Chains A and B, each alone.
Chain A
Amino acid sequence: MANQYPQPEVYTTTHPFTASGTALGSTDSQTIYTNIAHNEQVLIYGVMVNFYEDAANGNGVGGVITLTSGANEDARFALSITAGANTVPTNAFDAQFIHRKTDKMFTFACPVLVNHRDVLQVTLERTSSTAVSKNMYAKVTLIAEIQKKE
């Protein structure tokens, strides 16, 4: 239940991927608990994606992966958002280009709606057959707000 209407919400999920265990099609899903009341809904306006290193090489632990030369394939993942029983947007979309953008943000044409008791999940799926070059983790941040239902 929100403390104000509308209330800004920023949800971050963390998706770890290991260098040895991330084959094409590997997925990692994380569930977000919105804690909304029955008369509220969550509206998701945009998504940010950032890939971090979890290894000593490159920029080091907690540093951002740099997509050059051999590491170019490291961020090839597709992102999907599940709101309730449905995937919204309908199809998975490329997460790499969001990480590459200078603002690291992708805004939707209209908000994703999440209702009371709808399960909100974020899934990343590997879309390259090349192994990732190092242990890493992706952070997906949903830019949202809680609003009373109209």
Chain B
Amino acid sequence: MANQNPQPDIYEVNLSFTNESSTGTKVSSQVYTFQSSFEEVRVYAVMVNIVNSEDDDISASVSDFQLTIEAGANKVPSNAFDIGAIATSREKTLAFPSPVVVGFQEPLTITGEWMGTSNTPDAITVVKITLIAETAMIEGGF
């Protein structure tokens, strides 16, 4: 439950790909929004950082990942999308044209998938996903 309306929220998940993850390896993580029944979460943007075990940026050499966001039973956006371009850009952030809306009791799941044609080269590759969001009361009552 939020302390203000709307309330900015930043959700961070770390998706760890272990040594030599093969093509198609997926790592998922759940985000707990702690919202109440009359609130909704709106995800406006996603930030991507690809680092090694020492938290160094390795996006230049390992970045062919794609991302899936599941809000409840549905994928929103409806397809997985490339995050290598986001990770290698200077802002490292992609703003959606419209927010992803997450309702009460809807699980918010983030899934990363390695898409390179051979195994991940680094011993441990961590894909850090940051969702830039807000929690707000549902308009029109609940």
The answer to whether A and B belong to the same complex is: yes
Among residues of A, the one whose C-beta sits closest to the C-beta of B91 is: A103
* A139 touching B101, Cβ below 8 Å: no
For chain B, the count of residues having a C-beta within 8 Å of the partner chain is: 38
Task: Give Cα A143 to B116, complex, Å.
Answer: 22
Taking the complex as formed, is B16 at the interface, i.e. its CB lies under 8 A from any CB of chain A? no
Within 8 A of B (CB), among A52-67: 52, 54, 59-64, 66
* A3 touching B74, Cβ below 8 Å: yes
Q: Which of B1-9, B31-39, B57-65, B133-141 contacts A (4 or more CB under 8 A)?
A: B57-65
Among residues of B, the one whose C-beta sits closest to the C-beta of A32 is: B79
* A6 touching B98, Cβ below 8 Å: yes
Total CB contacts across the A-B interface at under 8 A: 119
Instruction: Take A62-B117, A141-B82, A143-B97 as given contacts and tell me if A102 and B61 are in contact as well, using a CB distance cutoff of 8 Å.
Output: no
Select one of A10, A62, A63, A64 contacting B79, CB under 8 A.
Answer: A10
* A50 touching B116, Cβ below 8 Å: no
For chain A, the count of residues having a C-beta within 8 Å of the partner chain is: 36
Select one of A9, A50, A143 contacting B94, CB under 8 A.
Answer: A143
Taking the complex as formed, is A81 at the interface, i.e. its CB lies under 8 A from any CB of chain B? no
Task: Give Cα A148 to B58, complex, Å.
Answer: 40
Within 8 A of A (CB), among B44-74: 59-64, 66, 71-72, 74
Contacting residues, chain B, for A49 (C-beta < 8 A): 85
Task: Give Cα A3 to B71, complex, Å.
Answer: 10
Task: Give Cα A9 to B79, complex, Å.
Answer: 7
Instruction: Take A3-B76, A144-B97 as given contacts and tell me if A61 and B82 are in contact as well, using a CB distance cutoff of 8 Å.
Output: no
A30 to chain B, nearest CB (A): 13
Among residues of B, the one whose C-beta sits closest to the C-beta of A34 is: B78
Contact with B along A1-15 (1 / 0, CB 8 A): 011101111111010
30 contacts between A and B (CB under 8 A): A3-B74, A4-B100, A7-B78, A7-B98, A9-B78, A9-B79, A10-B79, A11-B77, A12-B81, A12-B82, A49-B85, A50-B88, A54-B117, A59-B60, A59-B61, A62-B115, A63-B61, A63-B62, A63-B64, A64-B84, A101-B89, A103-B89, A103-B90, A104-B88, A139-B85, A143-B94, A144-B97, A145-B96, A145-B97, A145-B98
Interface residues of B (CB under 8 A from A): 59-64, 66, 71-72, 74, 76-82, 84-86, 88-91, 94, 96-101, 114-118, 120-121
